[in-house]
Amino acid sequence: MRDVRKYIIQEPSVGEMLCEVVKCIKLLQVVPITTATAERSFSGLKRLKSYLRSTMGQKRLNNLAVLHAHRDVLDELDIRPVINDFIFTNSVRRSTFAPF
């Protein structure tokens, strides 16, 4: 694949004659080789749905699925402001939880 691409770049006249081949090469370069990432996301979604099926709406399910898919970013996130916002939302939480 790499050799064909290099040859077409070096010989522009060949690229003009074989324009459909050039289009196919461009498409093959952007198509993912595996679907493992998508399959892992669906696997996580399946576990999440089976655990929380009766207590969760569609919006919450979507939000949790996004959080699960991007959990590597969440590991680096500082959650203290989120926790404190949750605690200081009402007086019962303020009396139950200490500020983080």
| Burial readout 63-96 (b: 16 or more C-beta within 10 A, e: otherwise) | ebbeebeeeeeeeeeeeeeeeeeebeeeeeeeee
Q: Rounded distance, CA 69 to CA 37, Å?
A: 9
Does 62 or 37 have the greater pLDDT score?
62
Please tell me whether the overall predicted TM-score, pTM, comes out greater than 0.85 for this model: no
pLDDT in tens, 10-54: 877 877 777 787 787 777 777 666 655 555 666 766 766 666 566
Q: Rounded distance, CA 45 to CA 65, Å?
A: 6
